[in-house]
Structure 1
Amino acid sequence: MRARLEDEIVLLHHEDVPPFKKGGSVVRNSYFWALKSIAGRASRGRDWEYEPEVWLALQRMLLSFSESGYLGLSETILEFPADTEEIPAVLRPVATWQ
Protein backbone atom coordinates (compact mmCIF):
# COMPACT_ATOMS: atom_id res chain seq x y z
CA MET A 1 0.00 0.00 0.00
CA ARG A 2 1.31 3.39 -0.87
CA ALA A 3 2.08 5.34 2.28
CA ARG A 4 3.65 8.65 3.14
CA LEU A 5 4.69 10.45 6.29
CA GLU A 6 3.47 13.99 6.93
CA ASP A 7 3.93 15.78 10.26
CA GLU A 8 4.32 12.51 12.18
CA ILE A 9 1.17 11.06 10.58
CA VAL A 10 1.29 7.99 8.34
CA LEU A 11 -1.14 8.35 5.46
CA LEU A 12 -2.28 5.34 3.44
CA HIS A 13 -3.35 6.11 -0.12
CA HIS A 14 -7.13 5.75 -0.24
CA GLU A 15 -7.04 3.75 -3.48
CA ASP A 16 -4.82 1.11 -1.85
CA VAL A 17 -6.88 0.55 1.29
CA PRO A 18 -8.93 -2.65 0.91
CA PRO A 19 -12.57 -1.87 0.18
CA PHE A 20 -15.42 -3.24 2.25
CA LYS A 21 -17.67 -5.42 0.11
CA LYS A 22 -20.99 -6.65 1.42
CA GLY A 23 -20.93 -10.39 0.95
CA GLY A 24 -17.23 -10.24 0.12
CA SER A 25 -14.30 -12.14 1.59
CA VAL A 26 -14.44 -12.37 5.37
CA VAL A 27 -10.66 -11.87 5.60
CA ARG A 28 -10.64 -8.77 3.41
CA ASN A 29 -13.63 -7.26 5.20
CA SER A 30 -12.02 -7.99 8.58
CA TYR A 31 -8.83 -6.36 7.32
CA PHE A 32 -10.80 -3.30 6.23
CA TRP A 33 -12.47 -2.94 9.66
CA ALA A 34 -9.24 -3.60 11.55
CA LEU A 35 -7.41 -0.88 9.61
CA LYS A 36 -10.34 1.50 9.98
CA SER A 37 -10.67 0.86 13.73
CA ILE A 38 -7.23 2.29 14.55
CA ALA A 39 -7.20 5.07 11.95
CA GLY A 40 -7.38 8.62 13.23
CA ARG A 41 -9.28 9.51 10.08
CA ALA A 42 -10.66 7.09 7.50
CA SER A 43 -13.03 8.87 5.16
CA ARG A 44 -14.22 7.55 1.82
CA GLY A 45 -12.17 8.95 -1.03
CA ARG A 46 -9.49 10.38 1.29
CA ASP A 47 -6.18 9.00 2.55
CA TRP A 48 -6.40 7.18 5.88
CA GLU A 49 -4.40 8.69 8.75
CA TYR A 50 -2.49 6.91 11.54
CA GLU A 51 -0.92 8.77 14.46
CA PRO A 52 2.30 7.56 16.17
CA GLU A 53 0.28 6.17 19.08
CA VAL A 54 -1.14 3.42 16.86
CA TRP A 55 1.90 2.59 14.75
CA LEU A 56 2.74 -0.50 16.82
CA ALA A 57 -0.84 -1.74 16.44
CA LEU A 58 -0.65 -1.04 12.70
CA GLN A 59 2.61 -2.96 12.43
CA ARG A 60 1.20 -5.95 14.33
CA MET A 61 -1.96 -5.97 12.25
CA LEU A 62 -0.07 -5.84 8.96
CA LEU A 63 2.25 -8.65 10.09
CA SER A 64 -0.66 -10.78 11.26
CA PHE A 65 -2.65 -10.42 8.06
CA SER A 66 0.50 -10.95 5.98
CA GLU A 67 1.36 -14.15 7.84
CA SER A 68 -2.18 -15.48 7.42
CA GLY A 69 -1.44 -16.14 3.76
CA TYR A 70 -4.82 -14.81 2.60
CA LEU A 71 -3.54 -11.40 1.49
CA GLY A 72 -0.66 -10.55 -0.79
CA LEU A 73 2.40 -8.55 0.19
CA SER A 74 1.23 -5.59 -1.89
CA GLU A 75 -1.78 -5.39 0.43
CA THR A 76 0.15 -5.67 3.69
CA ILE A 77 3.42 -3.79 3.05
CA LEU A 78 3.66 -0.02 3.39
CA GLU A 79 5.46 1.47 0.38
CA PHE A 80 6.95 4.87 1.17
CA PRO A 81 8.23 7.22 -1.56
CA ALA A 82 11.92 6.83 -2.35
CA ASP A 83 12.61 10.34 -1.06
CA THR A 84 11.34 9.51 2.44
CA GLU A 85 14.27 10.29 4.72
CA GLU A 86 13.59 7.56 7.24
CA ILE A 87 10.84 5.03 7.82
CA PRO A 88 9.82 5.03 11.50
CA ALA A 89 11.57 2.18 13.32
CA VAL A 90 8.36 0.54 14.52
CA LEU A 91 7.08 0.30 10.94
CA ARG A 92 10.28 -0.99 9.31
CA PRO A 93 9.25 -4.69 9.57
CA VAL A 94 6.22 -3.94 7.39
CA ALA A 95 7.57 -1.20 5.13
CA THR A 96 9.78 -0.54 2.14
CA TRP A 97 10.56 2.24 -0.30
CA GLN A 98 8.83 2.48 -3.69
Structure 2
Amino acid sequence: MKVYLKDDILCIHYEDLPSYKKGGSVVRNSYFWALKSIACYARKGADWEFDQPVWVALSRMLLSFTESGYLGYSETILEFPIDTQIPEVLRSVSTWL
Protein backbone atom coordinates (compact mmCIF):
# COMPACT_ATOMS: atom_id res chain seq x y z
CA MET A 1 0.00 0.00 0.00
CA LYS A 2 1.45 3.34 -1.01
CA VAL A 3 1.68 5.72 1.93
CA TYR A 4 3.05 9.15 2.80
CA LEU A 5 3.47 11.27 5.91
CA LYS A 6 1.72 14.61 6.27
CA ASP A 7 2.27 16.54 9.52
CA ASP A 8 2.91 13.33 11.51
CA ILE A 9 -0.19 11.70 10.03
CA LEU A 10 0.26 8.49 8.03
CA CYS A 11 -1.86 8.56 4.88
CA ILE A 12 -2.67 5.51 2.76
CA HIS A 13 -3.51 6.27 -0.88
CA TYR A 14 -7.18 5.50 -1.49
CA GLU A 15 -6.48 3.38 -4.58
CA ASP A 16 -4.41 0.98 -2.43
CA LEU A 17 -6.98 0.55 0.34
CA PRO A 18 -8.83 -2.75 0.76
CA SER A 19 -12.40 -2.66 -0.42
CA TYR A 20 -15.51 -3.91 1.32
CA LYS A 21 -17.61 -6.28 -0.75
CA LYS A 22 -20.96 -7.48 0.51
CA GLY A 23 -20.80 -11.25 0.34
CA GLY A 24 -17.05 -11.09 -0.28
CA SER A 25 -14.17 -12.73 1.54
CA VAL A 26 -14.55 -12.64 5.31
CA VAL A 27 -10.82 -12.01 5.73
CA ARG A 28 -10.72 -9.11 3.26
CA ASN A 29 -13.86 -7.54 4.73
CA SER A 30 -12.45 -7.94 8.25
CA TYR A 31 -9.22 -6.30 7.08
CA PHE A 32 -11.21 -3.39 5.63
CA TRP A 33 -13.15 -2.83 8.88
CA ALA A 34 -10.08 -3.27 11.09
CA LEU A 35 -8.17 -0.60 9.14
CA LYS A 36 -11.16 1.71 9.03
CA SER A 37 -11.79 1.35 12.76
CA ILE A 38 -8.38 2.75 13.75
CA ALA A 39 -8.20 5.47 11.09
CA CYS A 40 -8.71 9.04 12.24
CA TYR A 41 -10.12 9.87 8.78
CA ALA A 42 -11.56 7.27 6.40
CA ARG A 43 -13.86 8.57 3.69
CA LYS A 44 -14.81 6.75 0.50
CA GLY A 45 -12.69 7.92 -2.43
CA ALA A 46 -10.14 9.66 -0.19
CA ASP A 47 -6.83 8.74 1.41
CA TRP A 48 -7.23 7.27 4.89
CA GLU A 49 -5.32 8.93 7.71
CA PHE A 50 -3.78 7.37 10.81
CA ASP A 51 -2.42 9.51 13.65
CA GLN A 52 0.62 8.51 15.72
CA PRO A 53 -1.25 7.04 18.72
CA VAL A 54 -2.56 4.17 16.54
CA TRP A 55 0.68 3.36 14.69
CA VAL A 56 1.55 0.55 17.12
CA ALA A 57 -1.90 -0.99 16.63
CA LEU A 58 -1.61 -0.54 12.86
CA SER A 59 1.77 -2.26 12.82
CA ARG A 60 0.49 -5.20 14.90
CA MET A 61 -2.62 -5.52 12.78
CA LEU A 62 -0.65 -5.51 9.51
CA LEU A 63 1.75 -8.14 10.88
CA SER A 64 -1.15 -10.30 11.99
CA PHE A 65 -2.88 -10.19 8.60
CA THR A 66 0.45 -10.80 6.83
CA GLU A 67 1.22 -13.84 8.96
CA SER A 68 -2.26 -15.27 8.45
CA GLY A 69 -1.35 -16.03 4.85
CA TYR A 70 -4.76 -15.02 3.53
CA LEU A 71 -3.64 -11.68 2.11
CA GLY A 72 -0.76 -10.92 -0.21
CA TYR A 73 2.36 -9.17 1.02
CA SER A 74 1.65 -6.18 -1.22
CA GLU A 75 -1.72 -5.73 0.51
CA THR A 76 -0.24 -5.55 4.01
CA ILE A 77 3.07 -3.70 3.55
CA LEU A 78 3.39 0.08 3.75
CA GLU A 79 5.34 1.53 0.81
CA PHE A 80 6.95 4.89 1.58
CA PRO A 81 8.49 7.30 -0.93
CA ILE A 82 12.25 6.73 -1.14
CA ASP A 83 13.03 10.16 0.34
CA THR A 84 10.95 9.56 3.50
CA GLN A 85 12.37 8.33 6.77
CA ILE A 86 10.21 5.43 7.97
CA PRO A 87 9.10 5.89 11.60
CA GLU A 88 10.65 3.29 13.92
CA VAL A 89 7.30 1.87 15.03
CA LEU A 90 6.32 1.12 11.40
CA ARG A 91 9.62 -0.32 10.13
CA SER A 92 8.61 -3.96 10.57
CA VAL A 93 5.70 -3.52 8.15
CA SER A 94 7.24 -1.00 5.73
CA THR A 95 9.52 -0.62 2.74
CA TRP A 96 10.41 2.07 0.20
CA LEU A 97 8.94 2.33 -3.29
Relative to the length of structure 1, the TM-score reads 0.98
RMSD value, Cα: 0.4
Distance in 2, Cα, partners of 1:6 & 1:92: 17
Distance in 2, Cα, partners of 1:68 & 1:15: 23
Q: Aligned runs of 1:38-57 on 2, under 5 Å?
A: 38-57=38-57
Relative to the length of structure 2, the TM-score reads 0.99
CA deviation after TM superposition for structure 1 residue 88, in Å: 0.5
Distance in 1, Cα, partners of 2:86 & 2:50: 14
2:87 aligns to what?
A: 88
Aligned length: 97
Overall identity of the aligned pairs, in %: 68
1:71 aligns to what?
A: 71
Gaps of 5+ in 2: none
The code of the aligned residue for 1:69 comes to G
2:33 aligns to what?
A: 33
Q: Aligned runs of 1:15-34 on 2, under 5 Å?
A: 15-34=15-34
CA deviation after TM superposition for structure 1 residue 83, in Å: 1.3
Gaps of 5+ in 1: none
Distance in 2, Cα, partners of 1:10 & 1:73: 19
